[in-house]
Amino acid sequence: MIKKFQFLCKPEVIYGANSISSLPSIVKSLNCKNLLIVVDKTFSKTIFFSDILKILQKENIKFFIFDKIEVEPDTEIGNECGKFAKKNKCDVVCGIGGGSVLDTAKAASILITNDGYIEDYQGLNKVPKPGVPKIMIPTTAGTGSEVTYTAVFIRKDLKRKGGINSPYLYPDYAILDPVLTIPLPPDVTASTGLDAFCHAIESYISRKANFLTEIISLSSMRLIWNNIYKVYIEGEDIKARENMLYGSFLGGIGLANAGVTAVHSMSYPLGGRYGIPHGVGNAMLLPYVLDSDIENDKSFTIKSKFANIIDYVMPQYKDKSEDFKSHLLIKEIKKLNEKLNIPRLRNFNIQFETFNQLAEEALQVQVPIENNPYPITKEHIIQIYKNAY
Amino acid sequence: MIKKFQFLCKPEVIYGANSISSLPSIVKSLNCKNLLIVVDKTFSKTIFFSDILKILQKENIKFFIFDKIEVEPDTEIGNECGKFAKKNKCDVVCGIGGGSVLDTAKAASILITNDGYIEDYQGLNKVPKPGVPKIMIPTTAGTGSEVTYTAVFIRKDLKRKGGINSPYLYPDYAILDPVLTIPLPPDVTASTGLDAFCHAIESYISRKANFLTEIISLSSMRLIWNNIYKVYIEGEDIKARENMLYGSFLGGIGLANAGVTAVHSMSYPLGGRYGIPHGVGNAMLLPYVLDSDIENDKSFTIKSKFANIIDYVMPQYKDKSEDFKSHLLIKEIKKLNEKLNIPRLRNFNIQFETFNQLAEEALQVQVPIENNPYPITKEHIIQIYKNAY
């Protein structure tokens, strides 16, 4: 079969413990007059954040802080951030936080240079002009937003999430400093880490995967698999935090280059309608989507892909059969969810009767649906929601 | 330690058996009036090449063929190709061959748009203007030239090789069609394959390696290690040819992003002075440079890197000690060289007395020397030449 790809990994990456110290020199190299800092509310109260401000002040860098993001952002808060940036004539944006914060910072970058609102740009390639330079500093090992060209916002009016997807959203710099992920509490560590794991496994099994993204996705899975429980029980394990951050970045590359699959489509409406955090939604659904993939993939390539994952992530089972390994993978993911205390769908106030509606909305998140290894239908999706209940 | 990188993999990649069929549509998408085809002399006599011409003719694409490259190119033949391209008003270049051919095609691309000669542009960032679009079609699994920004030419007057290194040399398209590598004879299959293996292992141990390039280099090594002997004894094994081609491409990404080490610096003068093919030179030297790395790397990171390679490439030795694994790696590479009938230095007309001169020239190939895991000196290099004799 003839396939093609063009690989993208745009940001200049600065990484390692204390790599945050390079922030002032990056900002200065951009001849920045007014820096917009979009920061996670919780993180903004840590000593880590005040230390960042200190090193910026020391270099006389003028900045404006937008710290209003608490949960997953809706378009309203995104537009407010853009307005704030414009008012203060910000010419470089810096996001310090999880995916919500980084996405908002990315959106602010293009709202500064374009006249419209987030609602105008949700979709694919709808942003007319490039934004100002973007520096992304993740404080979760999760979304991989520091390497993707997407920014997701809830449309409150439509009870739906929608992504701005534009090459103008690619970050210019990513600082991967594991020290900054230390204050992350265990539950968020777990759910964001599983979100990253979803990016890795979904991009690996995506129809758009290629021989380059596949090895990146596999490496991401291995890093996360071997470290997520460590950071869950011991948040100060800096080596494990580092591995998680690199794993998340690699998962983001997988996501940006090969896309995700039905898990993400099905998780979107859970966020849009019930406010279920993105990582939690993905984690809850993942094993049941994989179950469905095995059951319905008529080309039988999925089992061999699942077996590859086992060879790579749990090499102790290398000599087992493909069938054994593919089912083992799902079993192990379910076990991991339990160990990390990920809730089930039934723990949220969701009625069985809404599954039909949710499935319709999931199908509208079209690109990941198209990437799914087998052609997934509304009936499949309803069944998966039921299984994940 | 704080490190940084900016990852580059520019070409749009079309891959898989018979992916060559996409060539006409690519050429047409570039609004090409006159296509320059630079082709390997041997390959130009195959049915594969006449088939390529047929599909171009069928689409009324006008082309001009430059097929004079037999061995590694000197600046003279490179300039001749550039002149030929200019004379025929070529506006897209297409290289079909091994590294020599692809490098010449890349150089022609910038000679069309710039007024000087190859000699003017050898070095780093010396090319003033972008070239015309470049389509690269490797017929060896070797140099990875289809993804690098380098084109190497021998300066006959100086008896030395020199690379044009410029972002304007990055190919725009790479077609990886394993079918086209079938006519490659066993000895060239072996030496070019080992060249690719050198790119992989050297980029892995390079000081410029990072967590992204490392996994790409490891995957490249595994693909080549598991397939090189297969394609050596059975050139029509299309699956193995495919794996070699992807391995070589990935090795090229490693090379382009993390560089190579002392092996390449030491191989250059062997090519420049004695005409030893690039792949053969690298293959002969590789195990002895690695020996020297183990012996002299005072930070002791190299042994753990070698052990990682074994874990990845020969997982059956996973439970052995780091020390065992690192020496095993070198032993296995020496064995592979023997199995593939790679000659030794003594098989060429080289005198021991020239090692001093060769070492001085090797040190002038500075960037790979700087990338070497330990600070390598003239004395080390002379010793390595002696060991490889």
From B164, B181, B198, give the residue that closes a domain: B181
Q: Among partner residues B1, B215, B250, which is closest to A219 by beta-carbon distance?
A: B215
**What pLDDT, on the 0 to 100 scale, is given for residue A85?**
98
We report the CATH number of the domain holding residue A166 as: 3.40.50.1970
Q: Which residues contact A291 (CB under 8 A, 6 or more apart)?
A: A330, A384, A387
Angle, vertex CA A213, rays to CA A207 and CA A217, nearest 5: 95
Is any Cβ of chain B less than 8 angstroms from the Cβ of A239? no
**What pLDDT, on the 0 to 100 scale, is given for residue B50?**
97
Average pLDDT of chain B, as a whole number: 96
For an interface test with B, which of A2, A18, A23, A241 has the most B Cβ atoms less than 10 Å from its Cβ?
A: A2
Q: Among partner residues A13, A22, A215, which is closest to B219 by beta-carbon distance?
A: A215
**Same-domain status, B103 and B223:** no
Is any Cβ of chain A less than 8 angstroms from the Cβ of B11? yes
Q: What percent of chain B has pLDDT over 70?
A: 100
Q: What stretches of A314-358 adopt beta strand conformation (E)?
A: none
Looking at the predicted structure, is the pLDDT value of residue B102 above 90?
yes
**Same-domain status, A85 and A222:** no
The verdict on residue B4 lying in a domain is no
B177-195 pLDDT, tens digit per residue, is 999 999 999 999 999 999 9
**Same-domain status, A37 and A74:** yes
Complete DSSP assignment for A71-88: SSPBHHHHHHHHHHHHHT
B116-168 pLDDT, tens digit per residue, is 999 999 999 999 999 999 999 999 999 999 999 999 999 999 888 889 999 99
How close is the nearest chain A Cα to the Cα of B325, in Å? 18
**What pLDDT, on the 0 to 100 scale, is given for residue B352?**
87
The verdict on residue A5 lying in a domain is no
B233-270 pLDDT, tens digit per residue, is 999 999 999 999 999 999 999 999 999 999 999 999 99
**Same-domain status, B274 and B296:** yes
Collapse the DSSP code of A136 into the 3-class scheme (helix H, G, I; strand E, B; otherwise coil) and give the result. Answer: strand
From A133, A148, A181, give the residue that closes a domain: A181
Owner of token pair 């520019």? B10
**Same-domain status, A124 and A240:** no
How close is the nearest chain B Cα to the Cα of A22, in Å? 9
Q: What stretches of chain B adopt beta strand conformation (E)?
A: 3-6, 12-15, 35-40, 63-69, 92-97, 123-124, 134-138, 150-155, 160-165, 173-176
The verdict on residue B86 lying in a domain is yes
Chain A residue with CA closest to B217: the answer is: A215
**What pLDDT, on the 0 to 100 scale, is given for residue A257?**
96
Q: What percent of chain B has pLDDT over 90?
A: 93
The verdict on residue B156 lying in a domain is yes
CA-nearest of B243, B254, B188 to B218 is B254
Q: Which residues contact A324 (CB under 8 A, 6 or more apart)?
A: A317
The verdict on residue A2 lying in a domain is no
**What pLDDT, on the 0 to 100 scale, is given for residue B67?**
97
**Same-domain status, B362 and B264:** yes
Looking at the predicted structure, is the pLDDT value of residue B232 above 80?
yes
Q: Among partner residues A4, A22, A219, which is closest to B2 by beta-carbon distance?
A: A22
From A129, A152, A181, give the residue that closes a domain: A181
Cβ contact, residue pair A15, B22, below 8 Å: no
**What pLDDT, on the 0 to 100 scale, is given for residue B52?**
98
Chain A residue with CA closest to B254: the answer is: A212
How close is the nearest chain A Cα to the Cα of B367, in Å? 21
Residues B385 and B356: beta-carbon distance below 8 Å: no
B18-56 pLDDT, tens digit per residue, is 999 999 999 999 999 999 999 999 999 999 999 999 999
**Same-domain status, A170 and A207:** no
- In this prediction, residues B213-221 reach a mean pLDDT of 98
**What pLDDT, on the 0 to 100 scale, is given for residue B6?**
92
Task: Look at chain A and report how many structural domains it folds into.
Answer: 2
The verdict on residue B203 lying in a domain is yes
- In this prediction, residues B84-98 reach a mean pLDDT of 98
Inter-helix orientation angle B262-274/B378-388, to 10°: 70
Is any Cβ of chain A less than 8 angstroms from the Cβ of B315? yes
pLDDT band at A275 (very low <50, low <70, confident <90, very high): confident
Chain B residue with CA closest to A20: the answer is: B2
How close is the nearest chain A Cα to the Cα of B71, in Å? 31
Residues A11 and A148: beta-carbon distance below 8 Å: no
**Same-domain status, B215 and B125:** no
Token pair for B76: 């003279």
**Same-domain status, B165 and B118:** yes
Collapse the DSSP code of B123 into the 3-class scheme (helix H, G, I; strand E, B; otherwise coil) and give the result. Answer: strand
Average pLDDT of chain A, as a whole number: 96
**Same-domain status, A118 and A220:** no
Could you count the other beta carbons within 10 Å of the beta carbon of residue A33?
12
The Cα–Cα gap between A179 and A191 comes to 19
Task: Give residue B127's Cα distance to chain centre.
Answer: 21
The Cα–Cα gap between A69 and B202 comes to 45
With residue A124 as reference, give the H or E element that holds it.
strand A123-124
pLDDT band at A103 (very low <50, low <70, confident <90, very high): very high
Is any Cβ of chain B less than 8 angstroms from the Cβ of A246? yes
Side-chain-side CA neighbours of A29 within 13 Å: the count stands at 11
- In this prediction, residues B294-299 reach a mean pLDDT of 89
B331-358 pLDDT, tens digit per residue, is 999 999 999 999 999 999 898 899 999 9
pLDDT band at A1 (very low <50, low <70, confident <90, very high): confident
Looking at the predicted structure, is the pLDDT value of residue B300 above 80?
no
pLDDT band at A369 (very low <50, low <70, confident <90, very high): very high
**What pLDDT, on the 0 to 100 scale, is given for residue A119?**
97
**What pLDDT, on the 0 to 100 scale, is given for residue A90?**
98
**Same-domain status, B190 and B321:** yes
The Cα–Cα gap between B85 and B63 comes to 10
CA-nearest of B140, B145, B226 to B183 is B140
Collapse the DSSP code of A384 into the 3-class scheme (helix H, G, I; strand E, B; otherwise coil) and give the result. Answer: helix
Looking at the predicted structure, is the pLDDT value of residue A349 above 90?
no
Residues of A whose CB is below 8 A from B21: 2
Looking at the predicted structure, is the pLDDT value of residue A272 above 90?
no
**What pLDDT, on the 0 to 100 scale, is given for residue B83?**
98
Is any Cβ of chain B less than 8 angstroms from the Cβ of A2? yes
The Cα–Cα gap between B177 and B184 comes to 13
Is any Cβ of chain A less than 8 angstroms from the Cβ of B215? yes
Q: Among partner residues B1, B21, B246, which is closest to A211 by beta-carbon distance?
A: B246
The verdict on residue A357 lying in a domain is yes
**Same-domain status, A303 and A156:** no
The verdict on residue B1 lying in a domain is no
Is the interface score ipTM higher than 0.90?
A: yes
Domain containing A56 equals 12-181
Q: Which residues contact A374 (CB under 8 A, 6 or more apart)?
A: A293, A296, A297, A298, A299, A302
We report the CATH number of the domain holding residue A344 as: 1.20.1090.10
